[in-house]
């Protein structure tokens, strides 16, 4: 089998990226894109740290909205596509920027998706980065395999798996962890999202996924992968994502904020 001519070009781009991290989830709607965006915002608070966020969720690219960049045009030059900068040290690229309208669903078959992912890795001018975060589609599909394969020489540093405490979500985490093992990507850890809701009026904590709370931690022990922590449900996260602003900056003191910071410290 002849080597893909794109590989050396991808390797050249990726040679300037220190850490490449995949954000995975077994199911949709567990908070994977939210986590990716908040992690990107948080890492970029240190102005010496260069951060890139690459949204390869072709079926539902949500980063343009969450990062407050909806409708931004991507510039193409003869050296590639320039990502969109939120700050000097925070750049975002998303399939969503390339769609004619935010309501356009992308119904593409595998080869076309892979072609676009290849183009993303080969053509986006990230420059030098400390972190490149990949927001991926839910599950383990062609897109994940493509990313891992195209980055095989430059290596993915690890994956963070996001889940809710629900049993059905946890079952899918097992698949994600197995996928990582199979393709040789280190699991940096599992984040349990939307674990518990504290009523701001009466202070009562409700375990929204009561029956299985703690399941993610147990599963991590079983698999021998790090458990990174639990983030509670907080409606202000939704509100900040809808406005395209950083929750951690907007709500600096809340259990969810502290949980986020504790998790980020471990990465």
On whether 27 is known to bind a ligand per the annotation, the reply is yes
On whether 189 is known to bind a ligand per the annotation, the reply is no
Examine residue 169 and tell whether it contacts ligand ADP (CB under 6 A).
no
DSSP code, position 183: H
Phi, psi (degrees; rounded to nearest 5) at 229: 140, 175
Site for ligand ADP in 36-95 (CB under 6 A): 62
Whose tokens are 């990062």? That residue is 67
User: Which residues are 23's β-sheet partners?
Assistant: 135, 160
On whether 220 is known to bind a ligand per the annotation, the reply is no
Q: How many CB atoms lie within 10 A of CB 235?
A: 10
Residue selected from 17, 24, 33, 92 as contacting ligand ADP according to rule CB under 6 A: 33
Examine residue 248 and tell whether it contacts ligand ADP (CB under 6 A).
no
If the CB atoms of residues 28 and 214 are measured against ligand ADP, the closer one turns out to be 28
Whose tokens are 């907007």? That residue is 250
> Taking Cα atoms as reference points, which of 75, 15, 52 lies closest to residue 126?
52
Q: How many CB atoms lie within 10 A of CB 183?
A: 16
Query: How many residues of this chain bind ligand ADP (CB under 6 A)?
Result: 19
- Reading the block at residue 159, the tokens are 């994956």
Phi, psi (degrees; rounded to nearest 5) at 64: -55, -40
Which one of the spans 4-12, 28-36, 100-108, 142-150 is the region binding ligand ADP (CB under 6 A)?
28-36
Whose tokens are 């349990």? That residue is 192
Residue selected from 71, 238, 252, 266 as contacting ligand ADP according to rule CB under 6 A: 238
Residue selected from 34, 94, 146, 257 as contacting ligand ADP according to rule CB under 6 A: 34
Examine residue 144 and tell whether it contacts ligand ADP (CB under 6 A).
no
**Smallest gap from residue 62 Cβ to ligand ADP (A):** 5
Q: Are 37 and 149 in contact (CB under 8 A)?
A: no
Q: Are 197 and 205 in contact (CB under 8 A)?
A: yes
Q: Where are the alpha helices (DSSP H) in 124-254?
A: 142-150, 167-183, 215-223, 235-243, 247-250
If the CB atoms of residues 33 and 140 are measured against ligand ADP, the closer one turns out to be 33
Residue selected from 234, 248, 254, 257 as contacting ligand ADP according to rule CB under 6 A: 234
**Smallest gap from residue 206 Cβ to ligand ADP (A):** 13
What is the distance between the terminal CA atoms of the chain, rounded to a whole angstrom?
Answer: 37
- Reading the block at residue 236, the tokens are 């202000």
Which one of the spans 23-31, 84-92, 104-112, 114-122 is the region binding ligand ADP (CB under 6 A)?
23-31
In the Cβ-directed half-sphere of 240, how many Cα atoms lie within 13 Å? 19
Residue selected from 14, 129, 231, 263 as contacting ligand ADP according to rule CB under 6 A: 231
Which one of the spans 9-17, 32-40, 93-101, 216-224 is the region binding ligand ADP (CB under 6 A)?
32-40
**Smallest gap from residue 193 Cβ to ligand ADP (A):** 5
Residue selected from 193, 212, 254, 257 as contacting ligand ADP according to rule CB under 6 A: 193
Please report, as ranges, the residues that interact with ligand ADP according to CB under 6 A: 25, 28-34, 62, 193-194, 231, 233-235, 237-238, 241, 256
């Amino acid at each position: 089998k002849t080597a893909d001519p794109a590989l050396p070009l991808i390797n050249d781009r990726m040679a300037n990226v220190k850490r490449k991290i995949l954000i995975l989830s077994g199911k949709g709607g567990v908070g994977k894109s939210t986590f990716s965006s908040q992690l990107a915002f948080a890492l970029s608070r240190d102005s010496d740290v260069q951060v890139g966020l690459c949204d390869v969720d072709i079926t539902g690219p949500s980063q343009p909205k969450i990062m407050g960049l909806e409708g931004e045009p991507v510039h193409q030059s003869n050296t590639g596509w320039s990502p969109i900068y939120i700050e000097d040290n925070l750049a975002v690229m998303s399939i969503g920027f390339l769609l004619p309208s935010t309501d356009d669903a992308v119904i593409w078959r595998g080869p076309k998706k892979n072609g676009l992912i290849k183009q993303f890795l080969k053509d986006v001018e990230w420059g030098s980065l400390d972190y490149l975060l990949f927001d991926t589609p839910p599950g383990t599909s062609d897109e994940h395999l493509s990313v891992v394969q195209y980055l095989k020489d430059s290596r993915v540093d690890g994956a963070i798996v996001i889940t809710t405490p629900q049993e059905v979500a946890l079952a899918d985490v097992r698949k994600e962890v197995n996928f990582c093992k199979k393709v040789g990507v280190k699991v940096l850890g599992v984040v349990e999202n939307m674990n518990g809701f504290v009523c701001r009026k009466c202070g009562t904590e409700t375990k929204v996924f009561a029956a299985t709370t703690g399941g993610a931690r147990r599963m991590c022990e079983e698999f021998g992968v790090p458990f990174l922590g639990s983030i509670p449900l907080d409606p202000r996260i939704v509100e900040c994502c809808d406005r395209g602003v950083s929750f951690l900056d907007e709500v600096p003191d809340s259990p969810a904020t502290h949980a986020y910071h504790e998790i980020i410290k471990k990465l």
